[in-house]
Structure 1
């Protein structure tokens, strides 16, 4: 597995100490699903704030597991992980309050196929909607206007009312990116977001994510 920053690839190796600019730090991290076979072993990695990273490796090398560790969906077998100086764990109340700052795009994109593009991306705003309005998915004019601005940013402004099942593979990925951006995240984790796409479409999706990262100064980690 390798780490790419600004198209420069380097093998994961010994990382530096934690500085203010660091948002993700892994020290000797190992992970296993069955306590016998390790998916990741002794990973050392440091990721700076406001940067765009790509983690590359063959199928089964643990790339998706790495993202699950960062967003707290999985605990390491050994080693230490810090995300913005917190230990990621979805069961931890303190980290739960930080989770809305992590925009996670899963392999299956997690879109609701019978809902519209706008309805899907507004899901990213739910952490800012309180009480009963959250249950009813009622959003303020500000949130709706902001979502529409982000749709324009990913070149989907003319698809706001279209159902997800009517979109192409590339368009669905743009929706997933837009939903993550609506969260106003500090980190975006994209899991195999360009898999199964043709070369041209894959390049377009990578450019959309890179442009969003540069515009908002978030940290983008893509596998």
Structure 2
């Protein structure tokens, strides 16, 4: 068994739709669909590596706060006899297989690997078991603009064992998707999916307007001439 593991830490689509909106017009269904596409993409990407993959979704996450949940995820995987763990989410389309494999290799060499996002978060966290402290890790200012700085601070003592990867953009809404290069195959799929939802929405809206116009025109008619 490989001693390295990848955690894909992601909400189930129905829960993701409560926290994000990938489409202003058909928010719930569109966000659920796109969330499912993203999770499947990153699960398949992780499966191409030599590491064991753990999809830890909403029902498998343990703890009241995000910090407790992600900390418990790491602790549980270490408890399965893994010495090196890399954690990713499902919201950074620019993450490549090469970058993921490199992160695994670095953690296997005893390095802590952190991948920063442009909004102050982290899209990748790789930690050898010997550097992990559950209590400290759970107290990071998760899901904020301070997340990455806090992560760097708790690993400040590892000095030359800290590896910082490329700065990438994550996606929290439709605007973020459209700001990505549409040459990215995953972005192309997301945009096509968004378009299909908006086309369906506009069709329904058009039919509703037609029905309203028809009903309104009936109300303007006078009584019949012959009764």
TM-score norm. by structure 1 comes to: 0.25
The structure where helix makes up a greater share of residues is 2
Higher strand share: 1
